[in-house]
A = this chain, B = another copy of it.
């Protein structure tokens, strides 16, 4: 089954926003076993939209629209689809009540143009909008399937997941076995090394399939299978997951799509463990990453960004002899990383203390190369570990990869407890 995604909106053609909706829907459709053959972006112009719909009808079975269903005169997606189907438009009563209720509850006067958000093409199925105001739609017609979704991602995503996807499964994918997928998450390993380790599995894949995806400093592997029931799929996926875990036991941290920082925060909160940190070259990125997770305030106590040597000495009791002098190891050293981790832990009286000191670039410092970084982990009653990293890339890359490496080492430490 072939699909085309049509994003409607002049703001995309002006480059004011990036078409992240097409990416989201492409991933979702691939997971349903639907092949996306084309993505099209067209402006808020009825003629060109109708052209785009005609072309899509000639080459796709499933046509998904995003955007162009808001309240303004420029919002023309439903008009275009109605014209293509030879239908009229009407105001959908439940959708109109939903819009009216929004304004009533906020005691705001509803301007007339908002009625447009309740428009429906005659004879099609409304997809209610739980997050915003504009109603979506789904329709099967002459072997083609049409889905209209809102433009804002925070409205589009839940409408697709909760409304359009079940509709597609029921109407378009009835004769196909559903696809079941699982995300395996890895840390502390790059994409190419991971692929290398899994190359035999990947080369011989038939069912389930294996697809690695890399983002900055982390790798995800999606395993997928078609099966008549969730249980049969689970059996196949479990077997492959087990094979992969045996190959990379020290790197697979989850079999659901969760960032490593969230897994760590949740695990430490559940175990009533606390954490503090001392960061130099990452300048707050480590603490920012941890505190971006809701609930982190019960495990993260605080920490220090010690950019200057004075701050390292004053706040973290790093001995001057380590920092200055001809034979001193210097701020970027194993010794300083150790003191920073231990002092961060002591100052906050936390269970764990993390540290970073290194050269993020672009310039080198202390005649040490850009990308040389030491990370430390101190733990109450345990020996402090320090790891040396030799990273490549821009200042941003090096900072980000340092944080990922430290989170990975903390995860390993928690695994071994």
A residues whose Cβ falls under 8 Å from a Cβ of B: 12-20, 22-28, 30, 35-43, 48, 51-52, 55, 59, 213, 276-277, 279, 282-288, 290-292, 294, 296-297, 300-308, 310-311, 314-315, 347-349, 361-363, 365, 395-396, 399
Contacts and interface: CB of A to CB of B under 8 A. Distances in A.
A13 B42 contact: no
Contacts of A310: 301, 348-349
B13 A18 contact: no
B287 A283 contact: yes
B314 A347 contact: yes
A150 to B, nearest CB: 18
Contact of A305 (B26, B303, B362): B303
Nearest to A29: B15
A39 B12 contact: yes
A285 to B, nearest CB: 5
A30 B14 CA distance: 6
A116 to B, nearest CB: 21
B39 A26 contact: no
A23 B30 contact: no
Q: When A and B form their complex, which 6 residue pairs have the shortest distance between CB atoms, in order from nearest?
A: A283-B291, A15-B26, A284-B284, A284-B287, A15-B27, A302-B311
A308 B275 CA distance: 11
B14 A27 contact: yes
A30 B348 CA distance: 54
Contacts of A43: 37
Contact of A311 (B22, B286, B348): B348
20 contacts: A15-B26, A18-B22, A18-B23, A39-B40, A283-B288, A283-B290, A284-B285, A284-B291, A284-B305, A288-B288, A292-B395, A294-B363, A296-B307, A297-B365, A300-B307, A301-B307, A301-B310, A302-B305, A302-B306, A302-B307
A17 B214 CA distance: 10
Contacts of A307: 291, 296-297, 300-302
Residue among A16, A35, A284, A291 having the largest count of chain B Cβ atoms under 10 Å:
A284
A287 B280 CA distance: 11
Residue among A20, A55, A302 having the largest count of chain B Cβ atoms under 10 Å:
A302
A37 B48 contact: yes
Residue among A27, A213, A301 having the largest count of chain B Cβ atoms under 10 Å:
A301
